[in-house]
Amino acid sequence: MERSTVCLLCVVNLMYVCIGAAIFMTLESENEKTTSSDILSTVNAFLANHTDCLSNKELQTFLHKVLSAYQNGVFTTNETKSATQWDYPSSWFFAMTVTTTIGYGNQSPVTGGGRTFCVFYALLGIPLTGIMLLGLGEKLKFIVYSIQNRKCTKYEKTESLVKHIVLNVFIVGLLTFLPALVFHHTEDWTYWESLYYCFITLFTIGFGDFVAASNAEQNYKALYKVLVNIWIYIGLAWFTTIISYISDKYTESIEKREEKYKISNALPIAEKSLKTGIK
């Protein structure tokens, strides 16, 4: 790929990120201000009603401790208790999010030993998982190409492209819309939230605002997490294949245009050299 093309792609990508940042800021900043104002009003009202027994500093200390525990995945009172994040099924699910680079963020090691092990575990696990997904993707790609390359009518190229698009749309729908329906019934989510979770997961964005199986009942928690993991691995392999295919086609298109540009520039020079030689 030519240097000018790479520079152009960098500029386009930077512009895309800047535009996205502006849109996200417009959509989300007002809600952030409202939430901040609401919680400040709640704290001030609480302090006003308990001025005799609680100071502002004591309340801030209490809230920081509660928030710190909550950020570590722990919330316990006399009446409620959060589900454990470090039993074996939950730890297994976390290990998968590390090696697939999804990294939801709702669960992370807090001890020195856990963080150190996580670094070395990721160094080996991420390439290993990447190779596995590449292999799965190649097998899945073979299915697409076997259908795409079948002999068609006189409109062979168009029919092949249509088949390719239809098959990919069907499988993407199968890997997103159907699991979203399952999550809608098994988790306390709307269908749109479930669909959002599917796309955020399969594109390995993994914000952590929605995580499947985080509140599953203990009697089927392990099985549920295994099924979710299987869906993630298959989905990642297929989405990786699609993204790789689009990238390959885009790169191929750019290289063809660059080649045509070189030829079109080389022809006048060749003609000029030929005329000079004849003279």
DSSP 97-131: HHHTT---SS----SHHHHHHHHHHHHHHHHHHHH
User: Does the structure show a pLDDT above 80 at 192?
Assistant: yes
* 148-189 residue pLDDT tens: 555 555 556 677 677 777 888 888 888 999 999 999 988 889
* 57-85 residue pLDDT tens: 877 888 888 777 766 667 776 666 666 77
Distance of CA 103 to the CA centre of its chain: 9
* 17-40 residue pLDDT tens: 888 888 888 888 888 888 888 888
What pLDDT, on a 0 to 100 scale, did the predictor assign at position 116?
92
What pLDDT, on a 0 to 100 scale, did the predictor assign at position 274?
55
User: Does the structure show a pLDDT above 80 at 252?
Assistant: no
User: Does the structure show a pLDDT above 90 at 195?
Assistant: yes
At 55, which amino acid appears?
Answer: S
What pLDDT, on a 0 to 100 scale, did the predictor assign at position 188?
85
What pLDDT, on a 0 to 100 scale, did the predictor assign at position 247?
76
- pLDDT confidence bin for 254, thresholds 50/70/90: confident
Distance CA 10, CA 16 (A): 10
Which pTM does this prediction carry?
A: 0.69
Query: Lowest mean pLDDT: which of 127-141, 152-166, 184-198, 234-248?
Result: 152-166
What pLDDT, on a 0 to 100 scale, did the predictor assign at position 194?
94
For the chain, the straight-line distance linking the first and the last C-alpha, in angstroms and rounded, comes to 38
Residue 157 near residue 130 (C-beta atoms within 8 A)? no
* 217-236 residue pLDDT tens: 656 777 888 899 889 988 98
